[in-house]
Structure 1
Amino acid sequence: MNEEKRKALNLLKTSKGQIEGIIKMIEDDRYCVDVSKQILAVQALLRKANLNILDQHIRNCVKDAVLQGEGDRKIDEIINIIDKYVK
C-alpha cells in the first residue's frame, strides 16, 4: 500500500471514529448545532480521503492506461466522478 492510500485509510478510520461519536451525541440528545458541526467535519474528512484515492488513481491507473493507448475509459470514469463532485 502506497503513502496516498495509507493517508486515505487513516482519514477513513478517523471518520469512522467521528461517526461513532456523532451517533453517541445523538443518543445522548446533544445540542443539534454541535452534532451538525461534527457531521460537517466528517464530510470534510471523507472529501479529503476521496481526493487522495482519486489522486492515486489518476497518477497510476489513468496514467498507465493513457500510455498504453487505452485511456478513454479511465478518463470518462474521472469525468463522471468530477461531475458528481460539482452537483
Structure 2
Amino acid sequence: MQADSKTVLNLLKTARGQLDGVIRMVEEDRYCIDISNQLMAIESLVAKTNATVLKAHVEGCVRCACASGDASTRDEKLREIEGVIDKLSR
C-alpha cells in the first residue's frame, strides 16, 4: 500500500471506536438523530480514509505505471481507477 500505513490505521481505528460508540448508543436506546449524526461522522471518516488511500495510489502506483513506458501496465492502472470512480458514483 502506498499510503502511510500509520495514518490509515489511525483513521480506521478511530472509525472503529466511533462505531463501537454507536452500537452502545443503540443498545441504550438513545435518540435517533444523535445516532444518525454519529453514523454520518463515521461515513465521513471512512470516506476520508478511502480518499487518502486512493490519492496515494494515484501518486505512487499509477504515476509509476505511467512513467514505466509499459502501455499495458499503464492501461491496467487507469482501468482500476476508472472502476473505483464508477463505484464511487453509484
TM-score by length of 2: 0.88
Partner of 2:85: 82
Q: Which runs of structure 1 show a deviation greater than 4 angstroms over 4 or more consecutive aligned residues?
A: none
- Cα shift readout 1:7-34 (whole Å, capped 9, x = no counterpart): 2221111000000000000000000110
Q: Is the 8 A contact 2:3 2:53 kept in 1?
A: no
| Structure 2 unaligned residues grouped into runs of 5+ | none
Does residue 14 of the first structure (1) align with residue 17 of the second (2)? no
| Residue in 2 that maps onto 1:62 | 62
- Aligned counterparts, 1:44-55, within 5 A: 44-55=44-55
Once the two structures are TM-superposed, the CA of residue 65 in structure 1 deviates from its matched residue by 1.2
Letter in 1 for 2:5: K
**Separation (CA, whole Å) in 1 of partners of 2:14 and 2:39:** 13
Q: Could you say what secondary structure the match of 2:30 adopts? A: coil
1:55 maps to amino acid: K
RMSD: 1.6
How far residue 56 of structure 1 moved from its aligned partner, in angstroms, is 0.7
1:29-40 aligned within 5 A = 29-40=29-40
The structural deviation recorded for 1:85 is 1.0
Using the alignment, how far apart are the partners of 2:83 and 2:77 within structure 1? 10
Gapped regions of structure 1 (runs ≥ 5): none
CA distance in 1, matches of 2:6, 2:23: 26
The change in CA–CA distance for 1:72 and 1:2 in structure 2 (over 3 A counts) is closer
